[in-house]
Structure formats: structure tokens, C-alpha cells
Amino acid sequence: MKKVTLTVLLIPALCLSVFAQSTPSADEVMDKYLAAIGGKEFLATINTLTVDMSTDMQGNSMIMTRKQMAPNKFSQVAYANGMELFKMVSDGNKVAMVSPRGNQTMEGAQAQSAILQNMLFPEMRFAQMGIKSTVAGIEKVDGKEAYKVAHTTADGAVSWSDFYDVNSGLKVQTVSVMRTPQGEREQAILYADYKDFKGLKYPTSLTQGSGQFQRQSSVDKVKINDKVKDSDFAVAQ
């Protein structure tokens, strides 16, 4: 009876040991992703990225342009019928949002969260930024197994999770928590249909939202090291 009990107790420990041995580290998962989209050496040559997207908002067609400049500047502008509807821009420290409802400038943890989610190839810079990343297990994303990598900033103010396909290494989902006047709300972005743009693999289908409110965007153009200026990321004082 003692031998049987001992065997039963050892099974969970053995399973955990096998899982630990077969599961890659967070750095290994992210390195595989960076290799899958072009490789670190090539990605290091990309200083700016311009992405044109199209989507539908409540029955109205909308065009969005996202510009990114290494290491952490970005802007995103949405247009409908030729008119600017919304703009978010960051100089790497502050984030400004401009819309018909008014303007808002974010600093501190709020700005940090937006910057981390919109910076150019963030996985290449996590180590120098002091971001702690750990593999939190394997979960199904769109029917396929993916490594869940949990990230936390050095000060603990911002945390989120990225999911990387076990087989391809490609990033398939990002899950973060938004703080709204109504409380915290989980938001997810699904990445799919990766295509090659002059050596860079980029998702051409993005589904973003929370709960029943989902918006799908299609990537139409990806331009590498195009005409992007520092002034594109200026935040008004």
C-alpha cells in the first residue's frame, strides 16, 4: 500500500518536471518569434514602420495609419470620409489623444502602457528596459496551442500577456487590462494572416476589442524606413 501511495504522489511531481524541461524560457519564445518575422539582424535595420489599415466602425468605413519610430515613438490616426476622427501620438514619454470629444495627455503608468503596446518590435528591447517576462503555460488561441508569456515592467505598474504559436513562433494574441471610468476591462488583440513585406512578416488581420465589441482591421500596406519624421510624434505642451 505504501508503494502505491508513493507512486501516486510522485506522478504530479514527475509531470511538472517533464513540463519544465520541455517548456522553453520566455527569452527563447521571444527569440523564436523575432526569428520568424525576419530575424534580429534585419529588424535592427528598421528604424521606422508605416502601416495603412482599413476597418469598419458601426457601418462606416475607416482608414487608419500607424507610424512607429525606434525605439518607442508612435502615432495612429483614423480617418473617415477624408476627415480625421481620432489621433494618438507619443514622443516616447507622453501620450496625447485628440478626438472630437476633447484632447487628453497621459503620463506615468497610463502612458507607459500605451507606449509598450505600440512601440516598434518591443521584444527586442525588453531586457534593456528591465521588463520581466515568464512563460505562464500553454493556452489555445484560435484553436492552436500558444505559449502565454506574462510581462511586467520593472516598477510593477504595467503588466500584460503575449501569446506565441507553439509551432510557428508567431505572436497570435496580446491581452491587457484597460482602466476605464467604469472599472478595469480586459482587452485582446488577435493577430493573423502573416504576410511578407520586403523581408518582414507582418499580420494582415487584426481583431481588437473586449467582449462582444470587436473590430477587425485589414492591413493594406506596410512601408519600411519610409518618409517618417520626428515631428510626426510631437506631443503638444
| Domain with 142 in it | 24-233
Domain count, the chain: 1
Tell me whether residue 76 is in a domain: yes
**Residue 33, Cβ neighbours under 10 Å: how many?**
22
Distance of alpha carbon 108 from the chain centroid:
19
Pair 221, 52: CB distance under 8 Å: yes
SS3 labels along 2-16: HHHHHHHHHHHHHHH
Task: Return the H-helix or E-strand segment holding 29.
Answer: helix 26-37
Identify the band that residue 25 occupies on the pLDDT scale cut at 50, 70 and 90: very high
User: Which residues, 6 or more positions from 148, have their beta carbon under 8 angstroms from its beta carbon?
Assistant: 135, 136, 137, 138, 139, 161, 162, 163
Tell me whether residue 99 is in a domain: yes
Tell me whether residue 5 is in a domain: no
Give the position of cell 487608419: 64
Tell me whether residue 19 is in a domain: no
Tell me whether residue 11 is in a domain: no
Q: What is the DSSP letter of 72?
A: T
What are the backbone dihedrals phi and psi of residue 131, each rounded to the nearest 5 degrees, phi first? -80, 130
Average pLDDT over residues 56-81: 90
| Predicted confidence (pLDDT) per residue in 168-222, tens digit | 999 999 998 765 545 566 789 999 999 999 999 999 999 987 656 678 999 999 9
Tell me whether residue 8 is in a domain: no
Pair 147, 134: CB distance under 8 Å: no
Q: Quote the pLDDT of residue 211.
A: 59
Angstrom CA distances, 125 to 87, 99, 200, 220, 225, stand at: 25, 31, 18, 27, 19
Tell me whether residue 7 is in a domain: no
The whole-chain average pLDDT of the chain stands at: 87
Q: Quote the pLDDT of residue 60.
A: 77
Give the domain CATH number at 194. Answer: 2.50.20.10
Task: Return the H-helix or E-strand segment holding 127.
Answer: helix 126-129
Percent of the chain residues topping a pLDDT of 90: 66
Tell me whether residue 202 is in a domain: yes
